[in-house]
Amino acid sequence: MLEWLDKYRVIFETLYFLSSIGLVTTIIIGLKQLKLVKQDIILRNKRASVEKSIEYLNWFATEFIPDYEKFEDNLLKDNVVNYPGPYTEFVFTSTCNTHVPSIQTNLDKSTEYGGTGLINQIEFFSAALLSGLADEELAFNPLASLYCDIVEKLYIVLCDHRDDDSQKFLNTVKLYRIWSARLKKLDDDKKQKNNMDASNFGNQRIESIGT
């Protein structure tokens, strides 16, 4: 019996070794396939996000902007004074409230001309970007500056709606703070670069021929 086992032990060990190699190979192939599937999912999600971003950019340009321009034109016709800032609290404060006549007029006229509907649309747009449904970074370059200007024009309306409940329009406030801070940093970086370039030019000297 032992002689039989000894005779076939090498065969069994070889088969076991080969089966182990096969198992490892299967696992490696499976992991590679899993990685490819994961990459495919990421790519599909990215593509879907980009496509959705294009949809929102198109909506912003073709639907929201015309409504907002009508709103702004009406305020200009009525000589409504824009609140000059700061745009930080997004609630009424001791220095920004409806006891100030120009702010009360701004609120009344903004409400009359559809300001509440505009901030509802802006909130919808902001939520899509912050949730990842649309690509926030893709939307930044073409829209950030305009978006922040619009939110600042609607600041008094936002304060009025958030005065008793600061949980309202959180997406609008959050996206404004993210984008305005990023715009400021880009502007600061640009100024710093311009100053450095000017300094470098100022240190340059043109030598005369023969010196």
Specify if 125 maps to a domain: yes
Distance in angstroms (rounded) separating the CA atoms of residues 176 and 48 = 24
53-79 pLDDT tens trace: 788 888 999 999 999 999 999 999 999
93-108 pLDDT tens trace: 888 999 999 999 999 9
Distance in angstroms (rounded) separating the CA atoms of residues 149 and 155 = 10
Specify if 24 maps to a domain: no
Domain count of the chain?
1
Specify if 164 maps to a domain: yes
105-137 pLDDT tens trace: 999 999 999 999 999 999 999 999 998 888 888
CA angle 185, 189, 193 (to 5 degrees): 170
Domain that holds residue 54: 47-198
